[in-house]
Structure 1
Amino acid sequence: MNYEEVRRTDPALADALEGERERQEDTLAMIASENHVSEAVLEAQSSELTNKYAEGYPGERYYAGCEYADTVEELAIERATELWGADHVNVQPHAGTQANMGVYLAMLDPGDKILSLELEHGGHLSHGHPANFTGQTYEVEQYEVDPETGYIDYEGLREHAEEFDPDIVVSGYSAYPREVDFERIQAAADAVDAYHLADIAHITGLVAAGVHESPVGVADFVTGSTHKTIRAGRGGIIMCDEEYADAIDASVFPGAQGGPLMHNVAGKAVGFAEALSPEFESYARQVVDNAEALGARLQEHGFSLVSGGTDTHLVLVDLRDSHPDTTGTVAEEALEAVGIVLNKNTVPGETRSPFDPSGIRAGTPALTTRGFDEAACERVADLIYRVVDSPDDEAVKADAEAEVEALCAEYPLYDREGRLVDFE
């Protein structure tokens, strides 16, 4: 995508856009919630649908001229239904947080109770953090992972539910590297007559490809992001049984949002079409294989991984054992300086501030999109070790930066004509 028209109108903005394109091409994106979308998704999201208001739902819009908007949304719904097997799908949420908001508004009253995973143990802000609307609107208590194993303490969760008597139990996480047993969490919710919301924002693509167990048909509600492991247009999604369809739709519009971002819905539609291809299953499996290889190599270098490894697209590194004087912030900044972009992260039993925590989180979706295999991810793990082990050594960082440049050249994002590579 070129920015010729932008440059004619706004050179400063064009500089920023071109700078971001170069940054993505010349660095390794390892933030677990990021990915690279295809040329088709980028085209759809920059389409003329950005001009169109389409409040309401297909066939029931509040404005005229929505025939093509209806077609786009219906395609997104049909493909999402095929991907995840849900009875009802709402593709209008602007993001995963708005998807969660839609469920809460539909099923809870202010002051109702939410039981969710503690943020520092891998949960998410929209599951009940006091800085988020959930923590300000509802009564929230949180369960934890087992401090010894790093795995969800399912028995403790059930006991907590029986003591707290929540109205909804939330599963699905932002920094939990293990496969989730949704059946056990559903059983805990059933035991106290609570709803179960499974937030699969991070693993949406892994679930669609069948490389992670699906909560669809198990949990009462399933929410997710559509731009992480699923690699579609940016936004959120809600899936539920037909009995909740009307309540969910009303809570999204007009409850939480006005007009949907139809250009983003178009990006979802084409991204879902790509995910229905046989190649996508191979991609999703490679994402997990790459994360396992990355994690195993980091362990060889002495790093401690929360839960001892991963079943998903991410690894969570606890630096306190291997590098007790190095915080996640120091590691993040040193790695970004050489072109490896990941994020600092809290870890279970965190002893530092969440703004300068003890861990780092690294994901493989974007690397896998570029074509990285296990051997390439092991090379990245070697670089992470060298930089984190000597974050102030400029010679080490210069060598690492050169190796990152070589990896980016070996696995390019763009072809010679400046078009994104064919992800299949």
Structure 2
Amino acid sequence: MTDTLAPGTAADVATTASRAFRDALEVIESVEPRIAAATRAELTDQRASLKLIASENYASPAVLLTMGSWFSDKYAEGTVGHRFYAGCQNVDTVEALAAEHARELFGAEYAYAQPHSGIDANLVAFWSILAHRVEAPELAEHGVKNVNDLSEDHWEVLRKKFGEQRMLGMSLDAGGHLTHGFRPNISGKMFHQRSYGTDPETQLLDYDEVARVAREFKPLVLIAGYSAYPRRVNFAKMAEIAAEVGATFMVDMAHFAGLVAGKVFTGDEDPVPHADLVTTTTHKSLRGPRGGLVLSKEAYAADVDRGCPMVLGGPLAHVMAAKAVALAEARTAEFRAYAQRVADNAQTLAEGLQRRGVKLVTGGTDNHLVLLDVSGFGLTGRQGESALLDAGIVTNRNAVPNDPNGAWYTSGVRIGTPALTTRGFGAAEFDTVAELIVNVLKQTTPTTTASGAPGKAKYTLAPGVAEATKAAAAELLDANPLYPGLEL
């Protein structure tokens, strides 16, 4: 049965939404028909594919329609009640509602709804920590309230202090995110960086090892959270480690925010009570618009509020409005039931893959994602991802711990359950999905290079496999339609 919060479930909502989207597309078509055509094609493509990308979902018609408004026309730098532009009273209402819903949903002391993305949210958090931990003491030492009041010599001292701070985050191949200190990312350039990984045998977080590295490295920021770690994290333990070494504890929950909002993660597994700052996206498992949030303890609120103009441009009021709508949806019993199904379906998917002989990183999952090690099929992650896409199964390649193929070709394929759970998939459907995935991977053969060695990118898929897989997938998709009743 389609999830009760799935886009367009109720017949009256579907009828109204159909009319709204049709009218909007007609207006767009009158100016640039190719954009209208591409928009229609995107819905057709999404309806026809098994979307297993762990970071994607389907927003409700209410969320989607909220973004298409004249709030897009407003500049509103500043904060609620303190803007650098006149005429922002309605933007104030929108931003205040988004922050209110975020605070209530997550039990946060403070919420900031302006970040345009997860990376922007992380940048706001990083600079808030630097302002709170480095800039404020420096200003106090010199008896001034603003960096503009520092002498040039003192400003040079402050700038040097900014550049000497340390960050400790989860390594990319262990499942961390590129914004957690990965060298090519700005986070790896802002901070002296070191990573913690996972146990070589179990591939699970080793909190004693994290503590050992933290004591040795003494970071200003200890960051937890992940994009490809298929397990829960004990944030209480991580907070203890941060406190021991005097670090600010930050959690990036962009991937699993929906499981926190839906009360699947509680107690020590809920980062909000334990972290100084928590960042997230509002799409992924939270099922809202593309955007970000920063949640923080009250002590960091004034620093977070400086996100614009510190690192952000003008707030996107139309997206903040959509965040408010999505967060209101997430405060319902229906969303909590959905979040539990996401986790249950991930368990079913993992068990179905293992039963068919697939090696999974950490040996399973207890969140919303599963990470396959496809080296047992003689494939790279890139080959596996491409072959699955040929068969109508949308995934993404991902590194596994100590990956011999590096971050580009990889040895893994990451899959997640939020999107198909929104469509109404349950245990039976996800077991069939596992069967389809394994069948495709088994019948994919790497293409050798000119020297006869196995290639890392090219492959061949046995004849008829793609067509048969798409046909089997179509049966599942037709029984669980995307935006049921919505016709363009």
Give the TM-score normalised by the residue count of structure 1: 0.96
Question: What is the aligned partner in structure 1 of residue 16 from structure 2?
Answer: none
Query: Within 5 A, what are the aligned runs for 1:372-387?
Result: 372-387=425-440
What percent identity do the matched residue pairs reach?
A: 43
Amino acid at match of 2:359: S
Question: What is the aligned partner in structure 1 of residue 255 from structure 2?
Answer: 202
Q: Displaced runs of 4+ in structure 1, greater than 4 A? A: none
Which of 400, 403, 406 is the equivalent residue of 2:469?
Answer: 400
CA distance in 2 between partners of 1:353 and 1:179 (Å): 25
Q: Deviations over 1:24-52 (max 9, x none)?
A: 11111111000000000001111211111
Q: Deviations over 1:239-281 (max 9, x none)?
A: 111111001111x111011211111101100000100111000
Answering whether residue 478 of structure 2 is matched by residue 409 of structure 1, we say: yes
Contact 1:173–1:202 (CA under 8 A) maintained in structure 2: yes
Which of 271, 276, 286 is the equivalent residue of 2:341?
Answer: 286
Say which is worse superposed, 365-374 or 6-15, in terms of deviation.
Answer: 6-15
Q: Number of matched residues?
A: 416
CA distance in 2 between partners of 1:62 and 1:398 (Å): 57
Residue 75 of structure 1: CA displacement?
A: 0.9
Question: What is the aligned partner in structure 2 of residue 275 from structure 1?
Answer: 330
Question: What is the aligned partner in structure 1 of residue 301 from structure 2?
Answer: 245
Which of 32, 56, 60 is the equivalent residue of 2:54?
Answer: 32
Unaligned runs of 5+ in 2: 1-20, 131-161, 445-460
Answering whether residue 287 of structure 2 is matched by residue 231 of structure 1, we say: yes
CA distance in 1 between partners of 2:396 and 2:71 (Å): 34
Question: What is the aligned partner in structure 2 of residue 87 from structure 1?
Answer: 109
Q: Deviations over 1:295-350 (max 9, x none)?
A: 00000110011111111110011122x31x21111111111112110100000120
Say which SS state the counterpart of residue 317 (structure 1) adopts: strand
Contact 1:233–1:266 (CA under 8 A) maintained in structure 2: no
Residue 124 of structure 1: CA displacement?
A: 0.6
Question: What is the aligned partner in structure 2 of residue 312 from structure 1?
Answer: 367
CA distance in 2 between partners of 1:155 and 1:408 (Å): 45
Answering whether residue 353 of structure 2 is matched by residue 298 of structure 1, we say: yes
CA distance in 1 between partners of 2:484 and 2:399 (Å): 38
Residue 417 of structure 1: CA displacement?
A: 4.0
CA distance in 1 between partners of 2:486 and 2:308 (Å): 42
Say which SS state the counterpart of residue 229 (structure 1) adopts: helix
Which of 118, 121, 125 is the equivalent residue of 2:171?
Answer: 118
Query: Within 5 A, what are the aligned runs for 1:86-235?
Result: 86-108=108-130, 109-212=162-265, 213-235=269-291
Which of 66, 70, 81 is the equivalent residue of 1:44?
Answer: 66
Amino acid at match of 2:209: G
Contact 1:93–1:237 (CA under 8 A) maintained in structure 2: yes
Query: Within 5 A, what are the aligned runs for 1:1-20?
Result: 1-2=21-22, 3-20=25-42
Q: Deviations over 1:70-90 (max 9, x none)?
A: 111111111111100011100
Larger radius of gyration: 2
Say which is worse superposed, 270-279 or 404-413, in terms of deviation.
Answer: 404-413
Residue 92 of structure 1: CA displacement?
A: 0.5
Amino acid at match of 2:469: A
Unaligned runs of 5+ in 1: 420-424
Say which SS state the counterpart of residue 260 (structure 1) adopts: coil
Say which SS state the counterpart of residue 278 (structure 2) adopts: strand
CA distance in 2 between partners of 1:43 and 1:394 (Å): 42
Question: What is the aligned partner in structure 2 of residue 77 from structure 1?
Answer: 99
What is the alpha-carbon root mean square deviation over aligned residues? 1.1
CA distance in 1 between partners of 2:196 and 2:244 (Å): 16
Question: What is the aligned partner in structure 2 of residue 422 from structure 1?
Answer: none
CA distance in 1 between partners of 2:176 and 2:406 (Å): 16
Contact 2:63–2:289 (CA under 8 A) maintained in structure 1: yes
CA distance in 1 between partners of 2:473 and 2:391 (Å): 7
Query: Within 5 A, what are the aligned runs for 1:251-262?
Result: 252-262=307-317
Amino acid at match of 1:399: A
CA distance in 1 between partners of 2:282 and 2:114 (Å): 11
Say which SS state the counterpart of residue 464 (structure 2) adopts: helix
Say which SS state the counterpart of residue 65 (structure 1) adopts: coil
Say which SS state the counterpart of residue 89 (structure 1) adopts: strand
Contact 1:234–1:267 (CA under 8 A) maintained in structure 2: no
Contact 1:347–1:358 (CA under 8 A) maintained in structure 2: yes
Amino acid at match of 2:192: E
Contact 1:338–1:404 (CA under 8 A) maintained in structure 2: no
CA distance in 1 between partners of 2:320 and 2:483 (Å): 25
Residue 12 of structure 1: CA displacement?
A: 2.0
Say which SS state the counterpart of residue 142 (structure 1) adopts: strand
Q: Deviations over 1:151-192 (max 9, x none)?
A: 111110000000111111000000011011001111111111
CA distance in 2 between partners of 1:95 and 1:335 (Å): 28
Contact 2:57–2:418 (CA under 8 A) maintained in structure 1: yes
Amino acid at match of 1:103: A
Residue 234 of structure 1: CA displacement?
A: 1.4
